[in-house]
Amino acid sequence: MNIRDVPEPSLADDEVLLRVAYAGICGSELSGYLGHNALRKPPLIMGHEFAGEIVALGSRTQQINPAISVGMNVTVNPLLSCGVCEMCIRGLNQLCRERKLIGAHRPGAFTEYVNVPASLALPLPAGMSLETGALTEPVAVAVRIGELVGQVHGEDTLVVGAGPIGLLALEALQLRGSKRVFISDLDPDRLAMGAALGGEPLDPRSVDVVQTIRNATNGWGVAAAVDAVGTAGTRAQAISATRSAGTVILTGLHEETSAIPAADVIRREIVLRGGFSYTPANFKEALRRLETEEMHLAPWITQAPLKEGGMWFERLVNAPGNVSKVLLKP
């Protein structure tokens, strides 16, 4: 990771220019940093979880989004879509074949200024800090996970991985009425965060996660499991811990491909589905949940100067410790 001087972005007539206040480091960017993510190829300005102040408007932006103006604090849905295909018409813009991501297909927010489509800028609610606004994107991912899991009121569930998405998924399942949310992770600090949020922590180094869950559920397993890591091991663990006819959501992208116990999925009629990103409605709902404080990552958020970003990428890859989210500040 290198700090470089680049020209200020030029502004198209349908775009706004933001002075970035905070930009979060995402797990998908860590995999890109390690060379495991097909979307992210250097040289690239990453950063898709962010909030900032509008400093300039393109000539058509107020017709496109009359709710925004210069000086306004906003967050940004970083997913660009065509808006006219079948998926977009159904409100599933994240599945648009033409989708592009700020911070992957075009320069992102690990910078002082970034230009974004005006249609994707959402004003922050009155009184919401820019720090909180920068969390909207990962919260939206968790809102989508909860939506895909469906009805789990009074049921036991599992989240594999206590990183930012795993912790937020835990909260999303709790809001769905889950009786107990088991959460597993190899990092004791992150497990402690999950416990502080009301999860039932399981350390795979000291217990057999699947057997412990089966013992706690009269041998059945959980009604739904979320893999928020994305390795062959964690995907298999989520499947094995889920009861017959249960649901497994695969959202972690650490490994592009991996083997799964397909025969077990078939014989126990497990519903196995991907959970990618969020819909525009999920993104707006995430902003509302942050405003009402139903979902959060406090008090484990760390702010750091952008120039220290490389060091934080290294720490998050190797030993994140009791940090739920790193927000880089240009």
Domain with 184, as residue range(s), is 140-274
What is the full DSSP assignment across 115-151?
A: EEEGGGEEEPPTT--HHHHTTHHHHHHHHHHHHHH--
Quick one: 76 and 93 in the same domain? yes
Residue 299: cis peptide before it, omega within 30 degrees of 0: yes
The domain that holds 159 is classified in CATH as 3.40.50.720
pLDDT digits (tens, 9 = 90+) for 153-211: 999 999 999 999 999 999 999 999 999 999 999 999 999 999 999 999 999 999 999 99
Any domain includes 146: yes
Quick one: 126 and 189 in the same domain? no
CA quadruple 58, 62, 68, 74: dihedral sign = negative
Quick one: 118 and 64 in the same domain? yes
pLDDT digits (tens, 9 = 90+) for 261-303: 999 999 999 999 999 999 999 999 999 999 999 999 999 999 9
The domain that holds 93 is classified in CATH as 3.90.180.10
pLDDT of residue 255: 85
Number of domains in the chain: 2
Entry field: residues in the chain: 330
What's the whole-number mean pLDDT along residues 84-91? 97
Any domain includes 76: yes
Quick one: 164 and 259 in the same domain? yes
Could you tell me if 226 and 160 are in contact, meaning their C-beta atoms sit under 8 angstroms apart? yes
Quick one: 99 and 215 in the same domain? no
β-strand partners of 101:
79
Quick one: 226 and 113 in the same domain? no
Strands 49-57 and 15-24: antiparallel
pLDDT of residue 21: 98
The span from the CA of 39 to the CA of 261, in Å, is 27
- Token couple for 112: 């002082």
Any domain includes 72: yes
Quick one: 259 and 153 in the same domain? yes
